[in-house]
Structure 1
Amino acid sequence: MEGPPSASVGVPPFGIGVATLLVLGVLACSRLPALPPVFMLAVALGAGAWGWWRCTDWRRPAGAMLVGVALFGLHAGWVLSRQLPFAQERGDFAVSGRVVQLPDHEPRRTRFLFRVDGDASQPAFLRGRLLRLSWYDDRDTGSSPRLELEPGSRWRFTARLRAPRGLRNPGWYDSEKHMLAGRIAATGYVRQAQPFERARGSAGIDGWRDRIAARIDGSVAQPSSRFVRALALGDTRALDDVDWETLRATGLTHLIAISGFHVGLVAGFVALVAAGLWWLLPALGRHVPRPQVAATGALLGAVGYAAVAGFALPTVRTVLMVAVVVLARLWRRHTGVADSLALAAIALLLADPLSVLAAGFWLSFAGVAWLVWCLPQVQAVPLVRGFLSAQWVATLGLLPLTAILFGQASLAGPLANLVAIPWWSLVVVPLALLGTGLEALHVDWGGPAWRLAALCFDLSWPLFEWLASGRAALWWLPEARWFALPLALIGAFWLLLPRGVPGKALAALLFLPLLWPDRRLPGAGEFDVVTLDVGQGLAVLVRTARHTYLYDAGPAVPEGFDAGERVVAPALHALGVRRLDGTIVSHGDADHAGGFAAVQRRFDTGPVFAARDSGIESSVPCLAGTRWRVDGVTFRFLHPDVHFPPLRNESSCVLRIESAHGSALLAGDIGEVVERMLVRGDPDALRSDLVLMAHHGSGGSSDPAFVAATGARLALASAGHGNRFGHPQPAVLRRWADGGADTAVTAVDGAISVRLRRGGGQVERQRGAQPRLWDAVRRSDTAR
């Protein structure tokens, strides 16, 4: 009888090939428009596990791929099933539980994660669930119980909840995907009008991190303390938008919070301390060998430091790699870096298949994989040359991923990293960690080390601010097609091959679909209208062959959400907009004009037209009769005229856009009175193929005579999901449908792009053009 095959024959069960196919399987399932049935996933899991475990030929990696598909599908289905049911949306629920991770205190609100207790006193569909909540200030009494929201504290309160749902626009960020990866079951806010009770104060590792962060603030002068907190604890709550813009422009976001490299430093330091202790006391080696002690100390140090960092993905990846090396050392087996990386990827995906939804997963493993692949080329060269080579490998190898994941490339990043990696990682971070360790031993011992870390950090930060201030520091890239990433990865692989490999100039051409994608711009006499999904507000982009205009900039509220910063500017970058040739602010209400300041900071807005009572400085009134023509497209204001009084909504700028291939009407927030006035004045001027419903489709707009005068084939409404105004009103939607128009709503469809081109109009709905499996689950839940 033949025995089992030796370990050296066939495909290794935990090698690089198996890990790669497992990753591809998980990724493939994450890109499906809908989840397969559970029984199919269960069959795939069983068949894949059998092939992975029992076979040694090509069926082993194929089995791992099946396991990846099944694991992701089952995990995603389970997480989605635990989200708040559609029938319970906007309900008030009395819950008790504890605050997890670090709450983010803002001027008027605190955002925090809340784990609901699992006992029978909680609503059945919320037991044990993770909620993302906000607690706003009580403006009437001035009380701020939210300031007592400490990590680990326990509370009882009433929360108004809704199912996880985000905005869907062109660009890389998808909040629904991030909430799925984070297992968020519902979002909402605390109802301060209802009773609330604090049952217990700060506790746990997060409570300790919060207290250490407060001591850093007390020991280190502002503004440096916020960076020491980030480097010592992974606490980035104090960093503002300007800080993040500087870090993105210089490619340093991977260093400012605790990274995997920092975990490796701590693991190595603890290993050296343990080995030194055994060297000083050689008698200890009779009981436990020194190499095993050093390896175990490295693992304990890595786990402890990862806990200090809140178990962020890069730290977890490094802990897994350290664990693989430690186990191999304890079993006296040699494990290479590539094998450790493969084992870490397998362990992480088996534990959490949804981790592929996070950008950190790809950057962490891809960065190490590129360096491992190129390591034989640099290990025999001098230290400085090797460091420069590693920097070149990381920059070129990760460029395709950063472009796809973040829509940007830092041209100043290679130079900034040459300074930051050795200075921060070998000087600033060790000092910050030393202060944290001393503070853990005794209160006030950490202050000197923290202040020295801040001083060293301050020596380098002006250089990075100067690099970030250059116009060419950060290169925003338009959204590319699906094939651009694999082509760019092939190009990077080709360019990093050893010297003498032919065709490297041709390899650089493979980056073109990624770096200069086709933006599908209109031709002469054509134009596009893109209504962005900004929630309860309005922002519309109009593009001709060579000009771009923005009509309104979305909402901004004092509590923190700014659609100009979070939605409009990223969408403009994703669409390849470098500057605006003109901006129209229909009126001064915050849901239309709130985001303008953020857009103005990021773009040249061109001449600004606005209602006279909008409060926009240096703007030109949008008076009826004003017109201009570019690229064969005519823009004309229909309202208000010079005699119309300032009445906010009613004095909104009404803009008509016309070309030989179609026309569009953007009506702002006017109501029925102004609509009827326009019908009486010049009904022919209202005739349009596309109409943006006035006032988000409210019941006080879309007068029947106005609807008939437009003769629209498509009517759009920009409204927030589940908004408290009920926009767009069902009666208004029926009115437009009865008038012969198809209707679309951003709350349902996401951003809506209408291309008025030769041969007719084309409509693209963001959620339909890029379907996600969580959309399918939500649609079925809504149908029930």
Structure 2
Amino acid sequence: MRAPATTHVPPPFGVAAACALLAGIAACLQWPVLAPGVWMLVALSVGAWLWRRQDRLRLAGVLLAGYGLCGLHASASLAGQLPPDFERADATIAGRVLELPQHEARRTRFLFKVDGDSGQHAFLRGRTLRLSWYDGYREQGDPRRLTLAPGSRWRLTARLRAPRGLRNPGSLDSEKHAFAQRVAATGYVRDPDTATSLSPPGGIDHWRDAMATRIDAAVPGATSRYLRALAVGDTRALAEQDWEALRAVGLTHLIAISGFHVGLVAGFFALVAAAAWRILAPLGRLLPRPQAAAAAALVGACGYAAVAGFGLPTVRTMLMVAVVVAARLWRRPLGVAPALALAAIVILLLDPLAVLAAGFWLSFAGVAWLAWCLPDARGGRRIVGEFLSAQGVATLGLLPLTVVLFGQASLAGPVANLVAIPWWSLVVVPLALLGTALEALHAGWGGAAWRLAGACFDLSWPLFQRMADSGLALWWLPEAASLALPLAVFAAFWCLLPRGVPGKPLALLLWMPLLWPDRKLPAHGEAEIVVIDVGQGLSVLVRTRTSALLYDTGMAVVDGYDAGERAVVPTLHALGVRRLERVVISHGDADHAGGYAAVRRRFPPDVAHAPEGSGVEGTQACLAGHGWRRDGVDFRFLHPPRHFPYLRNEASCVLRIETAHGAALLAGDIGEVIEEGLAARHAADLRADVVLAPHHGSRHSSGSAFVAATGARFALVSAGHGNRFGHPHPDTLARWRDAGAEVLSTADAGALRIRLGQAGIFASSRRDTHRRPWDAVHGRARLGPGAGGISYRPD
């Protein structure tokens, strides 16, 4: 008689359960619209019930529970954001400053936790806000200049708006960040002189801020900003150029307190406790030595995670240490993979929106690759061999995620990490921590250790700086299709299988969609126009088959936001632009020319044009009648004529782009007077299917004669959401729509892409083609019903 077949039931908190939970959460966040809360609650309840069952439906239940739990968290985060009725309203609030404020030349940016008492507005009670405090009108020595300390409590008046950011290929999605961090609103402090301090600073963040200040005083020069990051996780002093160098050599994961550093501290505490138990034998009667060492490791990990501000990598390592400690205390064996799975389940149950952070994927994926490929220190292998193998596994295994999350791959990263990991982690960081510990015991004791740590850091940093400046360290990659990531991960998995497994050379072909994606370049005689979302400003990319032209570069503020750096350059990288043949600066105003320096540093153009007298360095005058031809597409300036005085907006370069399948007109900031002159003298040249509405759609532009002369099918507007100028004006929009044009605005739709091709003219927007749950807030506009855009085929 045959024995009944047994069905394997996966453990409730094992690797399979962690993967199922992660899959359910990821599936929830991929849908553009969240299901009603009651259905999410049903999914969570049914999933939790199936999770507890001892049968094959357990993993399905885990997946369903993850979907429902994430949906409830996401719905709560969206419901907690500022409603439309409060947009641009002032609110008097009291609360506490969170984390470390970011001090800049003219403002301080900080998180503010509103008190939960009845003295606050009902909606804002207990909410987290991201605010800016502007005090740039004061000199550095002015005693009234703000010193906003972490942990301090204030009563202030703030003007608020719902979190809103730019949406472009390759650039930071600040709305996603606010959604994941449960930030209810952003805004700025009104009437700073009326703000009242309610209590002095305190807490762990105040202590971290004080330690950072002491490091600056003890360590001279630029090295102090790196030691602040390594010692207390304070990266505020690192400039964009510093991050560029770190990204180029693949060391961003080490410069702030990382999970590996937490593990080192935990191991050190464990060794100290074990030594104490060996010396003081009677302690073993109270608690066995292995359990005491494990408990000490957890104390060290928790303390160091607090010093780091409880960042995700440190929390992940702290949880892994806690899992191992729990296993030791209960005398149960636990491997690396089960510990990692349990830590992932705990994090996801506490905060399913953590999957929106790049650090979550890199942290867990890195340890998972190492746990799978290097499960044991096999006999006969040397430490150097194990380290090289681990570095190779991490490089190959994390490459797909790095490319998808950041659009880049560090070619110098493997070599740089071979030096930085042992030197920084085993020499620089311990010395920095020793200085911090001594300084905590008594002010002034930590200076010598910090200076020694800085000297050791300076021995290695020039090498990494030269590697970063070589030009070969960083490989920027275009945005790839969604299928490219799983194919590359499978290829990495196949390549890391044991020797003798066939097909490894063929597996390399699966990397192609990720490393060499289709850039969707126009064919001969076609053109693509991308209006980059730069907020209140303008930047337009025009691509033909083999060339790229950039018209304007967005806003830049002195010692502040630079759209060239934050929006234009990342978009060019994501679209696969390798060089700019030409740059046209329509005129010298900051919202059009401000980002030119950042763009020129990354993409030095062959030729640059600007109006004569605009003051833009290194440019040739754009003159009416001057033109060129590329890939069957004609470019020609229509304005300004020769000897035209520089009148800022009215002197804007007006560029006509004519393809075999339609024409486009980029009109800068010209007003009605110039428009009427062009309509009278160049009526035939103004005819265009796609027109960039002059001056961001202002009230005194896009006059009736100009609109009629263009005969446009698409009118494009580049403007910031809720800008103080009221662009685009309703009357202007009405004139375009009455003339039969479809009006598309970056303020509503993000970056706009228009293809003038053989199949017709097709328009799409970033918010349409990459829909996310947080886009549903306030009914943000989209172009088409599900197709991702709208098209027009000329008769």
TM-score over 0.5 for the pair: yes
* Post-superposition CA distance 1:594-649 (Å, at most 9, x none): 00111011112221000113211121010101100010000000000013211000
> 1: CA distance between counterparts of 2:756 and 2:623?
26
> 2: CA distance between counterparts of 1:103 and 1:141?
19
Q: Contact 2:106/2:137 (CA < 8 Å) preserved in 1?
A: no
* Post-superposition CA distance 1:365-416 (Å, at most 9, x none): 0000000000147643211111101000000000000000000000000000
Aligned to 1:53: 52
Aligned to 2:98: 100
What is the deviation of 1:536?
0.3
Amino acid at match of 1:285: G
Aligned to 1:131: 129
Listed as ranges, the matches of 1:102-251 within 5 Å are 102-137=100-135, 139=137, 147-171=146-170, 173-192=172-191, 195-251=194-250
Q: Contact 1:138/1:144 (CA < 8 Å) preserved in 2?
A: no
Q: Contact 1:17/1:61 (CA < 8 Å) preserved in 2?
A: yes
Amino acid at match of 2:558: P
Amino acid at match of 1:303: C
> 2: CA distance between counterparts of 1:166 and 1:222?
35
1:31 aligns with 2:30: yes
* Post-superposition CA distance 1:682-703 (Å, at most 9, x none): 1000000000000000000001
Aligned to 1:474: 474
Aligned to 1:367: 366
> 2: CA distance between counterparts of 1:362 and 1:582?
39
Q: Contact 1:172/1:405 (CA < 8 Å) preserved in 2?
A: no
1:336 aligns with 2:335: yes
What is the deviation of 1:140?
6.9
> 2: CA distance between counterparts of 1:141 and 1:562?
23
Listed as ranges, the matches of 1:85-96 within 5 Å are 85-96=83-94
> 2: CA distance between counterparts of 1:223 and 1:712?
54
> 1: CA distance between counterparts of 2:354 and 2:723?
32
Q: Contact 2:698/2:729 (CA < 8 Å) preserved in 1?
A: yes
Amino acid at match of 1:154: R
C-alpha change, 1:780 and 1:662, in structure 2 (3 Å) is closer
> 1: CA distance between counterparts of 2:376 and 2:229?
34
When the two structures are aligned, how many residues end up with a matched partner? 776
Aligned to 1:644: 644
Q: Contact 1:172/1:404 (CA < 8 Å) preserved in 2?
A: no
> 1: CA distance between counterparts of 2:82 and 2:143?
28
Amino acid at match of 1:164: P
Bigger drift between 493-502 and 374-383 goes to: 374-383
Question: Partner of 1:629: helix, strand, or coil?
Answer: strand
> 2: CA distance between counterparts of 1:9 and 1:715?
61
Question: Partner of 1:121: helix, strand, or coil?
Answer: coil
1:78 aligns with 2:90: no
Q: Contact 2:106/2:136 (CA < 8 Å) preserved in 1?
A: no
Aligned to 2:528: 528
Q: Contact 1:379/1:386 (CA < 8 Å) preserved in 2?
A: no
Aligned to 1:618: 618
Question: Partner of 1:761: helix, strand, or coil?
Answer: strand
Aligned to 1:728: 728
Q: Contact 1:85/1:781 (CA < 8 Å) preserved in 2?
A: no
What is the deviation of 1:584?
0.1
- Across the aligned residues of Structure 1 and Structure 2, the Cα RMSD in angstroms comes to 1.5
Q: Contact 1:244/1:253 (CA < 8 Å) preserved in 2?
A: yes
> 2: CA distance between counterparts of 1:111 and 1:648?
33
Q: Which runs of 5+ in 2 are unaligned?
A: 783-795
> 1: CA distance between counterparts of 2:26 and 2:16?
15
What is the deviation of 1:419?
0.2
Q: Contact 1:209/1:308 (CA < 8 Å) preserved in 2?
A: yes
> 1: CA distance between counterparts of 2:253 and 2:193?
42
Aligned to 2:759: 759
Amino acid at match of 1:189: Y
Question: Partner of 2:282: helix, strand, or coil?
Answer: helix
Which TM-score applies when normalising by structure 2? 0.96
What is the deviation of 1:141?
8.2
Q: Contact 2:163/2:175 (CA < 8 Å) preserved in 1?
A: yes
Q: Contact 1:34/1:777 (CA < 8 Å) preserved in 2?
A: no
> 1: CA distance between counterparts of 2:780 and 2:536?
24
Amino acid at match of 1:333: R
What is the deviation of 1:121?
1.1
Q: Contact 1:587/1:613 (CA < 8 Å) preserved in 2?
A: no
C-alpha change, 1:360 and 1:233, in structure 2 (3 Å) is same
Aligned to 1:710: 710
Amino acid at match of 2:166: L
Q: Contact 2:170/2:574 (CA < 8 Å) preserved in 1?
A: yes
Listed as ranges, the matches of 1:397-436 within 5 Å are 397-436=397-436
Q: Contact 2:564/2:595 (CA < 8 Å) preserved in 1?
A: yes
C-alpha change, 1:780 and 1:573, in structure 2 (3 Å) is closer
* Post-superposition CA distance 1:160-213 (Å, at most 9, x none): 111001100111521111111111111111112661111222200000000000
Question: Partner of 2:310: helix, strand, or coil?
Answer: coil
Aligned to 2:351: 352
1:322 aligns with 2:312: no
Amino acid at match of 1:254: H
> 1: CA distance between counterparts of 2:685 and 2:193?
52
Aligned to 1:633: 633
C-alpha change, 1:675 and 1:781, in structure 2 (3 Å) is closer
> 1: CA distance between counterparts of 2:729 and 2:606?
35
Q: Contact 1:157/1:194 (CA < 8 Å) preserved in 2?
A: no
> 1: CA distance between counterparts of 2:404 and 2:25?
18
Amino acid at match of 1:424: W
Identical aligned pairs, as a percentage?
64
Question: Partner of 2:731: helix, strand, or coil?
Answer: helix
> 2: CA distance between counterparts of 1:235 and 1:387?
29
Amino acid at match of 2:562: D
Question: Partner of 2:154: helix, strand, or coil?
Answer: strand
Bigger drift between 341-350 and 172-181 goes to: 172-181
1:440 aligns with 2:446: no
C-alpha change, 1:471 and 1:217, in structure 2 (3 Å) is same
What is the deviation of 1:216?
0.4
> 2: CA distance between counterparts of 1:124 and 1:219?
46
Question: Partner of 1:579: helix, strand, or coil?
Answer: coil
* Post-superposition CA distance 1:220-247 (Å, at most 9, x none): 0111101110000110111111110110
Amino acid at match of 1:608: A
What is the deviation of 1:146?
5.8
> 2: CA distance between counterparts of 1:676 and 1:118?
58
What is the deviation of 1:144?
7.1
Question: Partner of 2:702: helix, strand, or coil?
Answer: coil
What is the deviation of 1:147?
3.2
Question: Partner of 1:147: helix, strand, or coil?
Answer: coil
> 2: CA distance between counterparts of 1:206 and 1:194?
25
> 1: CA distance between counterparts of 2:590 and 2:501?
58
Amino acid at match of 1:231: L
> 1: CA distance between counterparts of 2:171 and 2:63?
26
> 1: CA distance between counterparts of 2:138 and 2:516?
53
Q: Contact 1:613/1:648 (CA < 8 Å) preserved in 2?
A: no
C-alpha change, 1:603 and 1:86, in structure 2 (3 Å) is same
> 2: CA distance between counterparts of 1:79 and 1:145?
37
Amino acid at match of 1:159: A
* Post-superposition CA distance 1:529-572 (Å, at most 9, x none): 00011000000000000000000000011251100000000000
Aligned to 1:691: 691
* Post-superposition CA distance 1:686-731 (Å, at most 9, x none): 0000000000000000010000000000001000000011100011
Question: Partner of 2:587: helix, strand, or coil?
Answer: coil
Question: Partner of 1:92: helix, strand, or coil?
Answer: strand
Q: Contact 2:112/2:130 (CA < 8 Å) preserved in 1?
A: yes
C-alpha change, 1:442 and 1:368, in structure 2 (3 Å) is same
> 2: CA distance between counterparts of 1:552 and 1:287?
72
C-alpha change, 1:780 and 1:621, in structure 2 (3 Å) is closer
Amino acid at match of 2:65: V
> 2: CA distance between counterparts of 1:741 and 1:378?
68
Q: Contact 1:86/1:781 (CA < 8 Å) preserved in 2?
A: no
What is the deviation of 1:345?
0.3
Q: Which runs of 5+ in 1 are unaligned?
A: none
> 1: CA distance between counterparts of 2:743 and 2:544?
24
